[in-house]
Chain A
Amino acid sequence: GQNIDQPTEMTATEGAIVQINCTYQTSGFNGLFWYQQHAGEAPTFLSYNVLDGLEEKGRFSSFLSRSKGYSYLLLKELQMKDSASHLCAVRDSNYQLIWGAGTKLIIKP
């Protein structure tokens, strides 16, 4: 079966750095996405990786290792508004998105 694993919850301090890990086992691979979802709101796109390596976009970076089935999302200079669920999703061989359950990130002052 297809599976995406990520921690259920993480806590970090405002201004700090946090890394959210994601491991996956899917039927094929056509890209990995990170989305952010605030409570009661729609998911919004953060990053996309299809090749191994690091993609940087402002305060957010995402890393991919296809051989290890592993990705992480790195958030720097944490702000209170980063408190949200962070979802990892993999596009499989049928170009369907398989989603993790999300990592609830709690930012403390």
Chain B
Amino acid sequence: ETGVTQSPTHLIKTRGQQVTLRCSSQSGHNTVSWYQQALGQGPQFIFQYYREEENGRGNFPPRFSGLQFPNYSSELNVNALELDDSALYLCASSLEFSGAGANVLTFGAGSRLTVL
């Protein structure tokens, strides 16, 4: 059973640029969620995809967008990067999106984005 893999692990961008982060979900999982984690803080929910449809979104502007593919892998795109976008971006997969039972999230190791 493979876990959640994310790429790239680290990247540096400049203000105004665009970035795409990728995530392969754990085998058998059909739901992917993305989180932003600033240093010393807990993760902040960005959005979630279930069977290729966005079905939940946190308090993030439209320049944060995403996709989920038929194989349940996912992308996070951020346009017009700002300095405050510097953070660890975590992808997590799970079996179902709703609250029946624990619905434990399996996290990837994250992509650390630095915006200069």
- Tell me the A residues contacting B by CB distance below 8 Å: 4, 30-31, 33, 41-45, 48, 87, 89, 91, 94-102
Known interface pairs A95-B99, A99-B44; 5 further A-B residue pairs with C-beta atoms within 8 A, sorted by A's residue number: A33-B102, A45-B106, A48-B104, A101-B40, A101-B41
Q: Chain B contacts of A99 at CB under 8 A?
A: 35, 42-45
- Tell me the B residues contacting A by CB distance below 8 Å: 4, 33, 35, 40-45, 48, 56, 58, 90, 97-99, 102, 104-110
Q: How far is the CB of B32 from chain A (nearest CB, A)?
A: 13
Q: Chain B contacts of A33 at CB under 8 A?
A: 102, 104
CA–CA, A33 to B48, complex, Å? 18
Q: Chain A contacts of B107 at CB under 8 A?
A: 42-44
Q: Chain B contacts of A98 at CB under 8 A?
A: 45
Q: Chain B contacts of A102 at CB under 8 A?
A: 40-42
Q: Chain B contacts of A97 at CB under 8 A?
A: 33, 43, 45, 105
CA–CA, A95 to B97, complex, Å? 8
Which residue in chain B gives the minimum CB-CB distance to A89?
B42
Q: How far is the CB of A41 from chain B (nearest CB, A)?
A: 6
Q: Are A43 and B56 closer than 8 Å at their CB atoms?
A: no
Q: Are A45 and B44 closer than 8 Å at their CB atoms?
A: no
Q: Are B42 and A101 closer than 8 Å at their CB atoms?
A: yes
CA–CA, A67 to B112, complex, Å? 38
Of B33, B98, B102, B106, most buried by chain A (CB within 10 Å of CB) is B102
CA–CA, A42 to B109, complex, Å? 5
Q: Are B97 and A4 closer than 8 Å at their CB atoms?
A: no
Partner of B42, one of A44, A91, A100: A100
CA–CA, A99 to B98, complex, Å? 17
Q: Chain A contacts of B97 at CB under 8 A?
A: 95
Q: How far is the CB of B54 from chain A (nearest CB, A)?
A: 12
Please, could you name 29 A-B residue pairs with CB atoms under 8 Å apart, sorted by A? Answer: A31-B102, A33-B104, A41-B109, A42-B107, A42-B108, A42-B110, A43-B43, A43-B90, A43-B105, A43-B107, A45-B102, A45-B106, A48-B102, A48-B104, A87-B42, A87-B43, A89-B42, A95-B99, A96-B56, A96-B58, A97-B105, A99-B35, A99-B43, A99-B44, A101-B40, A101-B41, A101-B42, A102-B40, A102-B42
